[in-house]
């Protein structure tokens, strides 16, 4: 899994639908997720540090977590099926843990309110993310190619044996 953070909300140029953009900590990959207007507004309130006069749904949920002494340990966006992302809220209370099915937009809105980490399964990132820094990606590919070109099979065997001496 890869930890992500909310980079912002944008509008799709064609459909004008809101998209939340998650980025990895290295700022090299971005995961765009289409969300509804209400969730976009809710997330924007947190990003802009706006507090509504009365609690909205995500605020209420965060308040309930606190009132019941539940901790939102993290959210996990774990699947992408037929253009739909799936997420869970990972909660704990003492030693007891629970995963609660949730839409990613709701999970993100609650995670922002509780300052909980956002994690995405690597398979989802590889399937749906977009590169942010193509130059850094290309530099990494070239460095790897240069490494592979310079290493011999004997070096690999020696390295493997020194890393796992009991297997020699």
Q: What are the extents of the domains in the chain?
A: 2-132, 134-168
Can you give the pLDDT at residue 105? 95
Question: What whole-number distance in Å separates Cα of residue 80 and Cα of residue 127?
Answer: 8
On whether the CB atoms of residues 109 and 148 are closer than 8 A, the answer is no
For residue 78, give the nearest of 87, 69, 70 by alpha carbon. Answer: 87
On whether the CB atoms of residues 102 and 146 are closer than 8 A, the answer is no
On whether the CB atoms of residues 129 and 29 are closer than 8 A, the answer is yes
Dump pLDDT digits (tens) for 106-160. Answer: 999 999 999 999 999 999 998 988 877 556 556 666 666 776 677 777 766 776 6
For the domain spanning 2-132, the CATH number is: 3.10.690.10
Determine the length of the chain: 168
């Amino acid at each position: 899994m890869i930890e992500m953070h909310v980079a912002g909300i944008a509008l799709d140029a064609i459909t004008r639908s809101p998209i939340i953009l998650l980025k990895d900590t290295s700022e090299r990959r971005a995961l765009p997720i289409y969300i509804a207007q209400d969730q976009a507004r809710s997330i924007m309130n947190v990003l802009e540090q706006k507090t509504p006069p009365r609690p909205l749904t995500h605020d209420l949920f965060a308040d309930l977590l606190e009132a019941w002494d539940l901790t939102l340990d993290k959210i996990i966006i774990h699947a992408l099926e037929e253009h739909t992302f799936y997420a869970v809220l990972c909660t704990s209370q003492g030693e007891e843990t629970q995963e609660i099915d949730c839409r990613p937009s709701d999970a993100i809105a609650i995670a922002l309110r509780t300052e909980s980490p956002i994690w995405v399964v690597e398979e989802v990132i590889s399937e749906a993310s977009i590169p942010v820094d193509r130059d850094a990606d290309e530099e990494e590919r070239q460095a790897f190619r240069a490494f592979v070109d310079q290493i011999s099979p004997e070096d690999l065997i020696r390295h493997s044996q020194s890393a796992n001496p009991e297997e020699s």
